[in-house]
Structure 1
Amino acid sequence: MLLVYFLNLLLLTGLSWWLYKQDWAQNLKPYLLPALGLKLLCGVLLGLLYYHYYGAGDTITYFESSQKLTQLANNDAGAYWRLLLFNEFPSEAFRATVPFTAFADFSNSFFLLKIISLFNLLTGSSYYLVGLYFSLFSFWGMAKLTATLSTVFPETRKAAIVALLFFPSVVFWSSGLLKDAVLMGSMCWVMAFVLQLAHRQKLTIVTWLLVPLQLYLFVKIKVFFAALLLGMLTCYLMIQYLSRTIKSLQNIKIQLLTLAGFIVAAIVAVWHVSGIFSVEFILHHLVKTYDGLLALSLHGPHLSYSSLETTISSIVANSPKAFFSAIYQPLIGESLEPLYLLLGLENLLLLLLTAVAIVAVFKKEWLQKIELWHVILLLFIVASAIVIGISTPNFGTLSRYRIIFLPFLVYLLLQNRIAQRWLARL
């Protein structure tokens, strides 16, 4: 086992060095190595938190369940690869022993089990080594997006570094053996690719070859958020390309009107579709998820709605509360548990940053002109915060799920001269 650890740590070191030597990574020096070290450390701390404080949780369930697939690989390699590639189970009896298999073709949790099982074969089923690989993958995508933002919008370099690489809950919950690490790594990588493509930056052959894999991972892990963000990124890419030949589209007001037209067309299209992207299914799924998590959250501080129904009017009426709660709750004092106190302190910081940003707007202290990219991020933040706030009443779970939009919120809040002066002193 010592040899397995040594070889894997050697491989992890090699991959880290490869990242460090990438051209885009040079934009992040001298912050890259400290950020990477923090990320890998958080991957280990997350495992310690769940194994030695909670004693249970998603990460433990995923890892222990993946052992059944790993055992199949050791006993019958052919059956394992058929399961991995085609979801063909060796028997119904075996299927009954593996969780998340009721809808194996659609379950992102079962998809994650298959990924973990591959890393089990590489690491000798070492939880912490697998967590380090997941953390490194997450860091790759998030660091690449940070570097791309630093190049495309150089005035916001420090804001991007803080928001994506050092903001506490963003770093912690996007590390270790969780779906969120795969989600953030693939999502941020795709966002960086779109920005590079839209702003005509050089793209290598390796980058083009990786696009299908990163898109596949993003969609498989979070299909609804992937559909939302990919739709917005497509609009951004189209407007940027059209603006090269249509001069009027270089005006931000015209760009926003065009974006509004795209959004209206998308809403009309969604209104008439059926299946998992239908309005009825989405509303039903939101309320069902809320009811299920609420039953498990009554013992601690949680978010509750007096009336939440599967209607658009009900969702709209509860949206302001959902939006506020997803960003700023739990507040200091809502719970004396150590983890909730830490969350409360971070949320207090978010409230402070929000207040500073509002003051900066009135004092005309904004760092730069509004770009279409900022509007895209803002729309994604609002939509994601409402969806997560509506469906996730447990504040602990909420703090984890919100990292899909939180770094972009922090990034926008730091784009003012008041915040920039603070960052310059750090």
Structure 2
Amino acid sequence: MELKDLFLTPIYLAFFYAIAYAVRPRVTNIFTRKYFIPALSVKFLGAIALGLVYQFYYGGGDTFNYTRHVDIIYRAFGESPTAAIKLIFAHGEFDPITAPYTGTMYWYKSTTEYFVIRIAAVASLLSFNTYSVIALVFAGLSFSGMWAMYLTFIRAYPLLYKRLAIAVFFLPSVFFWGSGIMKDSLCIGALGWVFYGFYHAAVLKRNILFSATVGLLGAYVLITVKVYILLSFMPPALLWVVIENNRRIKSATLRTILKPFFLLLGVGAGYLGATNLTSEDERFAVDKIGERTKINQEYLYGLTKDQGSAYNIGTIDGSLGSIVTVAPQAVAVSLFRPFLFEARNPVMLLSAIEATMFIYLTVMMFYRTGIFKSFKQIAGTPLVSFCFLFAIVFAIGVGTNSGNFGTLVRYKIPLMPFYLAALYIMQFQANNAKKLSRFASTEKRASMVARAA
């Protein structure tokens, strides 16, 4: 960060808030309006905080590696606008005009990282290449998708607008790691739009054209940057549609008969969709998942095993079978670790506090409702089923690949809003069931008294 960040950031911040206040009446109601500006504010706070932490605590990192590439493109605009435009739309190819610049761009041929650089380069042109302003743009893009995620949840459970706001916006790890100039910011925003588009187009079947458009745009970002998020999303989402369609069959007998068929159809569609999605990408091909997981896990584990932040969930030998074997440990480490005593720095302590909250809410949910009733409740609520399945599938993926808590804290943020939202929905349903039960008992006693009289 430079001196110009101090002067330009307040000006742009005022401009962004003016846009937010103008947009707020169109996307909120009387209950959600009070969360719009605070939710955006914590995103802005997270974006600035991430830059400061990387600059003064870590002494560098990915967020500044992105901006070094952006600096090159911004400089190219002053020297050769044609070359700069070509750099923004380049796909790693050689071009004599851009060669003087691409020779110093380490990520020029990396599709995922260079996508982030393109977005940041466009933002740099509108902000005099000011890091903090570019970070605010990323926070705004991320917030748009997360607000869409929030609207989707409250469309299904409007009475939970307060708790769902906490789940989506106010988890510290989510608004810290998901707001700055990072892949994670774009991806969690894109995931929100995919969730919104899928729910409205495939489940509700309303505003299909708009919903499908924004959903596909979000899917494009995920495919380009982190396709494994979409891979984790698709099977549970398709199963969700199948369950919803099965529930709409009026005949209880026919519904029961067709349910196994629909379930098999959903699982099969999810598998085919996932395999076709990665057919041209060797990194995420189904037959290469075990091998890639082994390489990633060993590399990331080795980076931090002497620093106390590495974790070991078991042996991964490169086969899918070994991933299945360690899957329960992967889910546990992704959802419920690091423990408080495993925290080695302030960032890890923040994640440990959140993990402790997840442990408490999960245990209390199953304790109060009962294990059998809890699973029955999950199976009987399609949205909750989707949230838990997505969280579990994603937890297995990041838990087996990360190897250390420092990486895991950032990788797991897409699952956190869905898991916490599912817990809040289950808690709400359980409380309502108890109230109805007490009301029914009171009515029964009153009826018995009336008959006795």
Scaled by the length of structure 1, the TM-score of the pair is 0.86
**CA deviation profile, 1:173-219 (whole Å, cap 9, x unmatched):** 21121111111111112211222224547539766654443332222
Partner of 1:42: 46
Query: Which of residues 403, 409, 420 is equivalent to 1:399?
Result: 409
Mark the CA change 1:259 to 1:77 in structure 2 (over 3 Å): closer, same or farther: farther
Partner of 1:29: 33
User: Equivalent pairs: percent with the same residue?
Assistant: 23
State the distance in 1 between where 2:254 and 2:158 align: 19
Mark the CA change 1:375 to 1:24 in structure 2 (over 3 Å): closer, same or farther: same
Say which structure is richer in helix: 2
State the distance in 2 between where 1:302 and 1:43 align: 26
Partner of 2:183: 179
Partner of 1:59: 63
> How far does residue 293 in structure 1 lie from its aligned partner after superposition?
1.3
Mark the CA change 1:374 to 1:178 in structure 2 (over 3 Å): closer, same or farther: same
- 1:323 alignment partner AA: V
- 2:265 alignment partner AA: G
1:14 is aligned to 2:18 = yes
State the distance in 2 between where 1:418 and 1:236 align: 20
> How far does residue 386 in structure 1 lie from its aligned partner after superposition?
0.6
> How far does residue 16 in structure 1 lie from its aligned partner after superposition?
1.4
1:99 is aligned to 2:106 = yes
Query: Which of residues 146, 152, 166 is equivalent to 1:148?
Result: 152
- On the 8 A contact 2:289/2:320 being kept in 1, the answer is no
State the distance in 1 between where 2:23 and 2:134 align: 18
> Which stretch shows the higher mean deviation, 231-240 or 71-80?
231-240
Partner of 1:380: 390
- On the 8 A contact 1:255/1:372 being kept in 2, the answer is no
- On the 8 A contact 2:249/2:255 being kept in 1, the answer is no
Partner of 2:172: 168
- 2:58 alignment partner AA: Y
Partner of 1:222: 226
> Which stretch shows the higher mean deviation, 57-66 or 242-251?
242-251
Secondary structure of the corresponding residue to residue 129 of structure 1? helix
- 2:300 alignment partner AA: L
State the distance in 2 between where 1:391 and 1:32 align: 35
Task: Give the aligned length.
Answer: 418
Secondary structure of the corresponding residue to residue 354 of structure 1? helix
- On the 8 A contact 1:256/1:372 being kept in 2, the answer is no
Secondary structure of the corresponding residue to residue 324 of structure 2? helix
**CA deviation profile, 1:258-315 (whole Å, cap 9, x unmatched):** 2343214544786798543532222222122112212211232211255221111211
> How far does residue 418 in structure 1 lie from its aligned partner after superposition?
7.8
Secondary structure of the corresponding residue to residue 304 of structure 2? coil
- 2:89 alignment partner AA: L
Partner of 1:131: 135
- 1:262 alignment partner AA: G
> How far does residue 123 in structure 1 lie from its aligned partner after superposition?
0.7
- On the 8 A contact 2:152/2:196 being kept in 1, the answer is yes
RMSD: 3.3
Mark the CA change 1:418 to 1:356 in structure 2 (over 3 Å): closer, same or farther: farther
- 1:320 alignment partner AA: P
State the distance in 2 between where 1:253 and 1:299 align: 56
> Which stretch shows the higher mean deviation, 67-76 or 318-327?
67-76
Larger Rg: 2
State the distance in 2 between where 1:360 and 1:279 align: 39
> Which stretch shows the higher mean deviation, 26-35 or 203-212?
203-212
- Gap runs ≥5 in structure 2: 432-453
Mark the CA change 1:46 to 1:419 in structure 2 (over 3 Å): closer, same or farther: farther
> Which stretch shows the higher mean deviation, 285-294 or 230-239?
230-239
Mark the CA change 1:305 to 1:34 in structure 2 (over 3 Å): closer, same or farther: closer
Scaled by the length of structure 2, the TM-score of the pair is 0.81
- 2:13 alignment partner AA: L
Partner of 1:282: 289
Mark the CA change 1:404 to 1:247 in structure 2 (over 3 Å): closer, same or farther: farther
Partner of 1:424: none
1:76 is aligned to 2:80 = yes
- On the 8 A contact 1:328/1:348 being kept in 2, the answer is yes
Query: Which of residues 322, 325, 340 is equivalent to 2:333?
Result: 325
